[in-house]
């Protein structure tokens, strides 16, 4: 009866552990959509429209598939004439391709194209509050007394309204999508800062969140494999009273487990593909790693304190969830390993008492 109960709980543990890992991989897949994102939030009005246009004509802009600049306006009133409902929220005037900021963040409709006027994008929460539904692309709203057609609905309930920028605007931030996701984000940031004169602002690097999440997951998965493998070896020795594998066989089994764990770690690092931003010129340059950790920590902390768009919130949320789930899976593996060790010690104690 006791053996059956142990088998039942082991099966439950295996399914739960597998489910957690599948969930983590789904979050990593979501983070992969942001690996090409680089964004800079600059001091208000520091990017002139003419400077942005000149940059896009420059050869360097050919390294990016999409680019957009934005400016946050004062709080404006949005009204749906069909329902009479109103809502006050901050709007953003945007020039360029909205996909550079929001990626695949549309639930319905389309992004507006440059040159269009009297058109807007709303978030799902605002659409539901105004119309009772988020399937409202093509309908009209009044923003600050002017009519705007809804081109598309953005994911998320963070109140936001995106409208095309007017001629001669100045902007507070820029977002680009790299054609090659593996391209150095540091170089992209340096290029944007020097060309647009946008230095000292907040940096958002989508590759950072994908790389760190994968490296953490690979490290925790390798450690969990090592612990679970050793737990299995310990359980084998404790359950077989009549025959226990010789010490050499146990040592060989643990060696194989260690090799597999290292293989998982190496595969995870290759999948993360950190790139040149995370590699020093010389491996003995320990100051590089200290500075790297400090810079990346500051970027993550800065984003967590200033989440401007729902797409950034989604990225940070997926990163946190992947990290938390990885730690949970590792805790489960550690608990099973300690349980196996305890059972082995109890079994050994009984054997010694029986011999006496």
Q: What is the pLDDT of residues 26-43, one digit of tens each?
A: 999 999 999 999 999 888
Rounded to 5 degrees, what angle do the CA atoms 210, 213, 219 make? Answer: 135
91 is in which domain, residue-wise?
Answer: 37-200
Cα separation of 317 and 289, whole Å? 26
pLDDT of the residue at 259: 92
pLDDT digits (tens, 9 = 90+) for 258-306: 899 999 999 999 999 888 888 877 766 778 888 888 888 888 888 888 8
| Mean pLDDT for the stretch of residues 332-344 | 79
Which residues fall within 8 angstroms of residue 174, CB to CB, at 6 or more apart?
39, 40, 42, 47, 52, 67, 68, 69, 70, 192, 196, 198
Please return the burial class of 313, using the count of CB atoms within 10 Å of its CB with bins 0-12, 13-18 and 19+.
middle
pLDDT digits (tens, 9 = 90+) for 39-93: 998 887 889 999 999 888 876 677 899 999 999 988 889 999 888 899 998 899 9
Asked whether residue 162 falls in the same domain as residue 263, the answer is: no
Asked whether residue 244 falls in the same domain as residue 281, the answer is: yes
Q: Are 42 and 173 in contact (CB under 8 A)?
A: yes
Asked whether residue 259 falls in the same domain as residue 326, the answer is: yes
Q: 3-state class of 262 per DSSP? A: helix
**Of the residues 177, 200, 223, which one is the last residue of a structural domain?**
200
pLDDT digits (tens, 9 = 90+) for 105-127: 899 999 999 889 899 999 999 99
**Position 150 confidence tier, pLDDT thresholds 50, 70, 90:** very high
* Number of domains making up the chain: 2
Q: Which two tokens stand for residue 204?
A: 């958002």
pLDDT of the residue at 253: 79
Alpha helices in the chain (DSSP H): 2-32, 49-57, 99-102, 124-131, 185-196, 206-239, 247-272, 286-305, 310-355
| Mean pLDDT for the stretch of residues 233-242 | 54
Asked whether residue 10 falls in the same domain as residue 49, the answer is: no
**Of the residues 171, 200, 229, which one is the last residue of a structural domain?**
200
Asked whether residue 184 falls in the same domain as residue 54, the answer is: yes
pLDDT of the residue at 246: 56
| Mean pLDDT for the stretch of residues 322-338 | 89
**Of the residues 173, 200, 227, which one is the last residue of a structural domain?**
200
The model carries a pTM of 0.86
Instruction: For the chain, give the mean pLDDT.
Output: 85
Asked whether residue 269 falls in the same domain as residue 185, the answer is: no
Asked whether residue 255 falls in the same domain as residue 276, the answer is: yes
Cα separation of 150 and 127, whole Å? 10
Asked whether residue 41 falls in the same domain as residue 70, the answer is: yes
Asked whether residue 192 falls in the same domain as residue 116, the answer is: yes
Closest CA to 216 of 271, 292, 268: 268
Asked whether residue 225 falls in the same domain as residue 351, the answer is: yes
Is the backbone of residue 57 left (phi > 0), alpha (psi -120 to 50) or beta? alpha
Asked whether residue 54 falls in the same domain as residue 103, the answer is: yes
Asked whether residue 75 falls in the same domain as residue 190, the answer is: yes
């Amino acid at each position: 009866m006791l053996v059956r109960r142990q088998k039942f709980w082991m099966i439950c543990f295996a399914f739960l552990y597998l489910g957690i890992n599948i969930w983590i991989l789904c979050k990593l897949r979501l983070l992969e959509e942001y690996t090409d994102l680089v964004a800079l939030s600059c001091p208000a009005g520091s990017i002139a429209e003419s400077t942005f246009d000149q940059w896009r004509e420059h050869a360097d802009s050919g390294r990016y598939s999409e680019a957009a600049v934005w400016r946050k306006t004062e709080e404006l009133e949005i009204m749906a004439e069909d329902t009479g409902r109103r809502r006050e929220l901050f709007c953003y005037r945007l020039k360029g391709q909205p996909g550079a900021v929001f990626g695949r963040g549309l639930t319905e409709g389309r992004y507006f194209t440059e040159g269009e006027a009297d058109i807007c994008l709303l978030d799902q929460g605002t659409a539901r509050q105004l119309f009772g539904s988020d399937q409202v692309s093509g309908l009209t709203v009044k923003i600050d007394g002017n009519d705007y057609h809804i081109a598309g609905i953005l994911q998320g309930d963070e109140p936001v309204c995106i409208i095309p920028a007017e001629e001669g605007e100045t902007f507070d931030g820029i977002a680009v999508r790299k054609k090659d996701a593996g391209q150095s984000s540091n170089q992209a940031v340096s290029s944007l800062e020097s060309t647009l004169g946008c230095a000292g602002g907040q940096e958002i690097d989508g590759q950072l969140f994908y790389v760190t999440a994968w490296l953490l997951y690979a490290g925790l998965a390798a450690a969990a494999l090592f612990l679970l493998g050793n737990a299995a070896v310990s359980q084998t020795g404790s359950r077989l009273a009549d025959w226990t594998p010789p010490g050499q066989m146990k040592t060989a089994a643990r060696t194989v487990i260690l090799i597999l764990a290292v293989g998982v770690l190496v595969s995870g690092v290759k999948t993360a593909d950190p790139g040149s931003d995370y590699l020093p010129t010389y491996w003995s340059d320990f100051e590089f790693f200290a500075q790297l950790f400090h810079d990346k920590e500051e970027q993550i902390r800065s984003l967590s304190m200033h989440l401007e768009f729902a797409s950034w919130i989604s990225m940070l949320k997926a990163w946190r969830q992947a990290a938390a789930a990885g730690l949970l899976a590792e805790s489960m593996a550690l608990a099973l390993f300690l349980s196996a060790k305890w059972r082995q010690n109890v079994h050994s104690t009984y054997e010694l008492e029986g011999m006496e």
